[in-house]
Amino acid sequence: MIKIKRSFQYVVLTVVSFVSVFPLLWMVISATNTSLDVTRGAMLPGKALIENFQKLIGAQNVSQAMMNSFKYAILLTFASLCICSLAGYGFEIFHDKGKDVVMGVILLAMMVPFAATMIPLFQMFSKAGLLNTTAGFMLPTISTPFLIMLFRQSARSFPHDIIEAARIDGLNEFQIFYKMFFPTMRSTYAAAMTITFMNAWNNYLWPKVIMTDQKSITMPMLVANLTEGYVTDYGVLMLGVLLCTIPTIIIFFVLQKSFAEGITGAVK
Amino acid sequence: MSRANKTTSQKLTLSKKQNISGWFFLMPATFLIAIMSFIPMFRALLLSFKTGVGNNLKWAGIFNYQRLGQDTVFIQALKNNFIYLLIQVPIMLLLALVLASMLNNKHLRFKGLFRTAIFLPCATSLVSYAIIFRSLFAVDGLVNLILIRLGFLEVGYNFLAHPNSARMVIILALIWRWTGYNMVFYLAGLQNIEYSVYEAAMIDGASPFKTFFKITVPLLKPTILLTAIMSTNGTLQLFDESVNLTNGGPANATITMSHYIYNLSFKYVPNFGYAAAMSYLILILVAVLAFVQMKVGDKRD
């Protein structure tokens, strides 16, 4: 009986794993095949990778979009981690009535759908000359309630004795944060970094609104542009999708373990 | 006595100092949220009572809100968001829970491999997976090819050209993309449950089914609530999939509210006032649903 139960589990998990991985595998295989071979159901790597690549860079400015995406995502992640971890730490370590109220108000911002702020933000940013700029991309999502909450949650497990000891040793509050909290919370930072980088890289609606110049577009925008012709070249399209996915997959594999640990700390 | 007084007064100034430096820690993040969320939200409310083209706006009272009720595309978009919400979210969360409780089994082998594979879809961008699914379900796509080879179909079925099948593809795609994400939250939550509880249940002869509903679900309730609210929020704001998988088609049959708001503001002749009114409706829906979920979540305690 237990044997049957256990093999049933393995069957379910294998099937689900296969379904999860298959579309990505198909993407990689299709990127190396001609469009005709893709529609014929090619299931093995083909020889058209270089041909697809030449067609892709002939049609779109891939290197520009790649550079833009990296620039926007890295700067946003850095700014976001600094500002939100400071706030999360502050809300937990120095908490009093006033700050708890502020935290409650910030959490309300989580409920605000982006569609509701998008139009006024667009108006504000076009007046301020922030269209097609990195700052324009970053500003709306540097400070997010989710990250502040994640860091506040992890600061909860940070022992107060350490803070007291550091204060007696004469460290100021910022030094305590930077020298004590920051190094011990690596896994939370890794989780925050994974989430923020992926969200920044994958963001589509906001750049589509403010990046009106072709020179400023991101990788997801470029990939979406590829589908706009009348005839779809599947090989080229999948190569574009692959290039757009590689950076996030790398981040995922490098930070996967600490991501899970960071989330575990936060769900407690 | 005086000494004691002195130390308390010192403590007071010290805590005051800390209190002030505390505010410095919060300031940048709080200001940014105020300027980037709350001020635009307020301005959107004002906008929603105005009408006109582009930046040429006049006060119109509740005209925009009245107009919503007669806009068939908007009603379709609202329906679509709810179809996605009511079908996709429960299936996905249940699947994520089942998978998480299977992976929580101590004796399971290849655990890391399974977990990585199931979580992998989360690493793809929304635009990317929408395009992958669109290609897989195209008339000349792989799904049709397999159905033809297996003899179920004579010629390719255009999944994305029929409202119901197009919605089904969106739902399948959403489940594919987000199940692993929610599973990670459940796995994290399960680590806080003593494994001995499960072993005791096993010794007592409880079926896996019973263990799942009597132990796993109740103990994970806070996490389930969290994921339910996150998914509801996300589903009501769907945009990338609607744009890149079906482009809202056929004939706006699969369009979502955010997609329609985008079209109204940036694709058609811009009507910011009307779009803002629509966005306020999403805001109210998100708030009400989150409130209801929290109430329901509390009740079962």
Given this model, what pLDDT does residue B7 score?
54
Q: How far is A206 from chain B (nearest CA, A)?
A: 10
Enumerate the residues of chain A whose CB falls inside 8 A of the CB of residue B221. none
Residues in chain A with CB shorter than 8 Å from the CB of B123 are: 198, 245, 248-249, 251-252
Q: How confident is the model at residue B230 (pLDDT cuts 50, 70, 90)?
A: confident
Q: What is the pLDDT of residue B1?
A: 42
CA distance B89 to chain A (A): 18
Contact assessment for residue B40 and residue A121, using Cβ atoms and an 8 Å cutoff: yes
Give the C-alpha separation, A25 to A28, whole Å: 5
Does ipTM surpass 0.85 in this model?
Answer: yes
- Does residue B3 surpass a pLDDT of 70? no
Query: B2 falls in which pLDDT band (50, 70, 90)?
Result: very low
Contact between B236 and B257 (Cβ < 8 Å): yes
**For B265-282, what is each residue's pLDDT tens digit?**
988 888 889 999 999 988
Q: Of B24, B102, B124, which is closest to A24 when you measure between CB atoms?
A: B124
Question: Which CATH class name applies to B67-299?
Answer: mainly alpha
Measured between CA atoms, how close is B274 to chain A, in angstroms?
A: 11
Enumerate the β-bridge partners of residue B57: B52
Question: What pLDDT shows up at residue B268?
Answer: 83
Identity of the residue in A13, A96, A117 whose CB atom sits nearest the CB atom of B44: A117
Question: What architecture (CATH level 2) is domain A60-227+241-267?
Answer: Orthogonal Bundle (1.10)
Interface A-B: count of C-beta contacts within 8 A? 275
Could you tell me if B29 lies within 8 Å of chain A, comparing CB atoms?
Answer: yes
Pick the most confident of A60-64, B9-13, B209-213: A60-64
Q: Residue A139: which of A76, A232, A198, A182 has the closest Cα? A: A76
Put simply, whether B290 touches A (Cβ < 8 Å) is yes
Q: What ranges do the domains of chain A cover? A: 60-227+241-267
Residue-level pLDDT at A218: 95
User: Which residues make Cβ contacts (< 8 Å) with residue A97, sequence separation at least 6?
Assistant: none
**CB atoms B135 and A232 under 8 Å:** yes
Residue B6 has pLDDT above 60, yes or no: no
| Residues of chain B contacting residue A124, judged by C-beta atoms under 8 Å apart | 40, 43
* Residue A237: per-residue pLDDT: 93
Which 3-state string (H, E, C) describes A19-83?
A: HHHHHHHHHHHHHCCCHHHHHCCCCCCCCCHHHHHHHHHHHCCHHHHHHHHHHHHHHHHHHHHHH
CA distance B145 to chain A (A): 7
**Worst-scoring range by mean pLDDT, A131-145, B8-22, B50-64, B174-188?**
B8-22
Per-residue model confidence (pLDDT) at position B301: 43
With CB atoms and an 8 Å threshold, state whether A260 touches B24. no
Q: Does A107 touch chain B (CB under 8 A)?
A: no
Whether residue A205 and residue B258 make contact (CB cut-off 8 A), yes or no, is yes
Per-residue pLDDT of chain A (268 residues), as tens digits, is 567 777 888 999 999 999 999 999 999 999 999 888 888 877 888 888 899 999 888 888 999 999 999 999 999 999 999 999 999 999 998 888 888 899 889 988 888 888 889 999 999 999 999 999 999 999 999 999 989 998 998 888 888 888 888 888 888 888 888 888 888 888 889 889 988 998 999 999 999 999 999 999 999 999 999 888 767 889 999 999 999 999 998 988 888 777 777 666 665 5
pLDDT reported for residue B9: 54
| Closest residue to B189, CB basis, from A6, A87, A267 | A267
CA distance A23 to chain B (A): 7
Q: How confident is the prediction for chain B on average, in pLDDT?
A: 87
